Amino acid sequence: MTLLRTHLGGALRTARLAQSRSLREVAKSARVSLGYLSEVERGQKEPSSELLNSICEALGITLPSLLADVTHSLRAAETPTLTVARDAA
């Protein structure tokens, strides 16, 4: 089943890795525990809206920009055939 928290976590992880930053550094900046951020990134925990804002702020990204990435990721997951067809063309 496609779950919002899986794609949300993936998008947060992608944003963090694109900045070559560690879980520890971003967690500290967002004032959340390293374990919490790790669980959120792996889609194992639903972040509250408040903590999601803290994480976005720590990453220097906006909530709508993150959501746009999540929407894209969800759409890609829902249309595997089309994605393959586009890649092959």
Question: Does 39 sit near its own copies (CB under 8 A)?
Answer: no
Q: What are phi and psi of 62, to 5 degrees?
A: -95, 160
Compute how many residues bind its own copies; rule: CB under 8 A: 22
Candidates 14, 19, 44, 68; binder of its own copies (CB under 8 A) is 68
Q: Is 36 helix (H, G, I), strand (E, B) or coil?
A: helix
Q: What character string, x for contact with its own copies (CB under 8 A) and - otherwise, covers 70-89? A: xx--xx--x-----------
CB under 8 Å to 27, separation ≥6 — which residues? 33, 34, 36, 37, 58
Residues that bind its own copies (CB under 8 A): 1-6, 46, 48-50, 52-53, 62-64, 67-68, 70-71, 74-75, 78
